[in-house]
Amino acid sequence: MVNKPKKQGTTFETLQVNLINKYNIHHKARRLAEGGNNDEGDVEFFRVDYILPNERWVMEAKNRQALNLHQTIAKAKRKAGKYPVVVAWKKLKKQKGQQRRSADGEPVVYCMDEKTFFSLLEGRRYYDV
């Protein structure tokens, strides 16, 4: 039987794939293979617009209470290589009087580094900044 944190992580990754696919009808997001030297991240998707078609992105999906966001983004960037990275973080916390953990603030936040953010604002490819 798969351990509980692993199952929760897989479920969160699949949710992210489904959400991206809901908004991006041109390319299908997909979960990436885990582990080894070829581990680029958790999810692959393509940014699609008329100015910058087919820009590949990699997502790291984290479903945990505590996370060092700066280190997580740095590690995700190393794994993804030349591709822009976004970290999806679902922070759950045990609430008083509740059996299950629930969202602590926003249900999910999406985070990126400065270069990625400004490439989006400028309408440029990540690789061109």
67 and 86 Cβ atoms separated by less than 8 Å = no
CATH number, domain of 106, equals 3.40.1350
pLDDT tens per residue, range 69-121: 999 999 999 999 999 999 999 987 777 777 776 667 788 999 999 999 998 88
Give the confidence band of 33 by pLDDT, cuts at 50, 70, 90: confident
pLDDT tens per residue, range 34-66: 877 788 999 999 877 666 667 889 999 998 888
pLDDT tens per residue, range 2-29: 788 788 889 999 999 999 999 877 778 9
What is the domain extent for residue 113? 4-128
Give just the sign of the alpha carbon dihedral 24, 19, 65, 5: negative
